Chain A
Amino acid sequence: MVLDGLSLLAVTAGVLFFVSGTLGILRFPDVFSRLHALTKADGLGLGLIVLGLALQATSLAVIGKLALVWIVAALSGSTACYLMAHFELERAQEPHDRA
């Protein structure tokens, strides 16, 4: 019962992070702040959802798989974010004489 409550809390908080991240992507003005909103919120959101689901898991193997999902998603998410930000930074620094 306590576990159920904690799960519910964690998953709900996770969903809220996803929603705010999506809102950030839609409303923030430039690439950097959008990336910030997306990766921070999604990383934390997914972490909280994974936590909520792990509390409901019936075996250690399931918990391990859930943790793996979060680790891989967090790693690839932040790497993709870095690459996009890096690309945008280089593009922004290019002289605009071609236009």
Chain B
Amino acid sequence: MIGLEVVFDVSVAVLLVVLALESLYTPNLFTSIAFFIAFGLVMALAWVRLQAPDLALAEAAVGAGLTGVLLLDAAREIAAVRGVERTPRSMVRLTSLLVAAGVGVALVAALLEVPPRAAGLAEAVREALPLTAVEHGVTSVLLDFRALDTFFETAVLLLAVITVLVLQAHQHVRIIPWELSASPVLSGLVGLLAPVVLVFSGYLLWAGTHAPGGAFQAGVLLGAGGILLELAGVHTVSRLPRRALRWLLSLGVAGFALLSGTLLLAGRGLLELPGAGARTIVIALEIAIAVSVALTVVSLVVGSNLRLEPPEQEP
């Protein structure tokens, strides 16, 4: 007798593979992206089944939502140039195949190295959790045990958004046809949703200390709210002075840099949080990261509609 849960899990797994294949092989770019978004949502479901709600939140928000929007945008740009049918050249196909095969072999090799039924580090993290500033395992790993990784992740995000802004400033690519609809219905919905989004992202940020949630999820949600506002014609981020925007985009990295510099000067290890005040530091860092992530998300999507200042004189 096979339980209902097994049937459900197997269906999810099969559906994932089918959606991935459809997304890769359907000839129409738009359909392909629709499959990709569906894939992201089912993936989020899979993370829920694997009892990883943090990942599920991130996957639904970033994997399906944000990436979907960016891909649709890119597809529109591409369609304007050469139509929606995709015709990758055989060289591109061959290279992609080789890269994918290489990564696949490496992953399988790595998998074979893992001892069967290894508990991983979960037990160690659980034991050391009382020593950290927060009560939620994922947050303690992200901002305490492996804060260095998170430091560099925020730096990668910053680099990405800098690249996008620079490229857009020079190409004058218009990402989304703004003012597409000065629709009273959209404005009404956004007026209702904006406060809810603000409260919920604040809740997610705070919940990160003791439950699934945290800076990245809260930041992406806040950013999505910002995009909604921009779409409805309420310009918030796009009206920020450039200088302020730059500082806010760098807030997460700046926070980490300031913290590690101070700790080094005080004679502690890099990102070795002091016992007293660690909780305050972690929460402050979370807020800084959330603000940066939110503005990064809005900048990536709204991008070229940000107010451009006159180009600086370069030597």
Chain B positions within 8 Å of A86 at CB level: 181, 183
Chain A positions within 8 Å of B196 at CB level: 72
Chain A interface helix/strand/loop/mixed: helix
- Does B192 belong to the interface (CB within 8 Å)? yes
Contact B181 A75 (CB under 8 A): no
Shortest Cβ gap from B20 to chain A (Å): 21
- How many residues does chain A have at the interface if contact means C-beta atoms less than 8 Å apart? 8
Contact A75 B183 (CB under 8 A): no
Chain B positions within 8 Å of A83 at CB level: 181, 183, 185-186
CA distance A83 to B192 in the complex (A): 17
- Does A33 belong to the interface (CB within 8 Å)? no
Contact A75 B185 (CB under 8 A): no
CA distance A79 to B186 in the complex (A): 6
Shortest Cβ gap from A20 to chain B (Å): 20
- Does B189 belong to the interface (CB within 8 Å)? yes
Shortest Cβ gap from B190 to chain A (Å): 9
Shortest Cβ gap from A98 to chain B (Å): 14
Shortest Cβ gap from B61 to chain A (Å): 15
Contact B181 A76 (CB under 8 A): no
CA distance A83 to B196 in the complex (A): 21
- How many residues does chain B have at the interface if contact means C-beta atoms less than 8 Å apart? 10
Contact B183 A76 (CB under 8 A): no
Contact B185 A79 (CB under 8 A): yes
Chain B positions within 8 Å of A72 at CB level: 193, 196
Interface string of A59-89 (1 = CB under 8 A from B): 0000000000000100110010011001100
Chain A positions within 8 Å of B192 at CB level: 75
CA distance A75 to B189 in the complex (A): 7
CA distance A8 to B39 in the complex (A): 29
Q: Which residue of A lies closest to B231 (CB)?
A: A83
Contact B193 A87 (CB under 8 A): no
CA distance A87 to B188 in the complex (A): 18
CA distance A82 to B184 in the complex (A): 11
Interface string of A32-54 (1 = CB under 8 A from B): 00000000000000000000000
CA distance A79 to B196 in the complex (A): 16
CA distance A72 to B181 in the complex (A): 21
Shortest Cβ gap from A58 to chain B (Å): 18
Shortest Cβ gap from B4 to chain A (Å): 14
Contact B183 A82 (CB under 8 A): yes
Chain A positions within 8 Å of B188 at CB level: 79
Contacting A at CB under 8 A, from B156-201, are 180-181, 183, 185-186, 188-189, 192-193, 196
Shortest Cβ gap from A87 to chain B (Å): 7
Chain B positions within 8 Å of A82 at CB level: 183, 185
3 tightest CB-CB pairs across the interface, nearest first?
Answer: A79-B189, A82-B185, A79-B185
Residues of A bordering B, CB below 8 Å: 72, 75-76, 79, 82-83, 86-87
List 21 A–B pairs whose Cβ atoms lie within 8 Å, in order of A's numbering: A72-B193, A72-B196, A75-B189, A75-B192, A75-B193, A76-B189, A76-B193, A79-B185, A79-B186, A79-B188, A79-B189, A82-B183, A82-B185, A83-B181, A83-B183, A83-B185, A83-B186, A86-B181, A86-B183, A87-B180, A87-B181
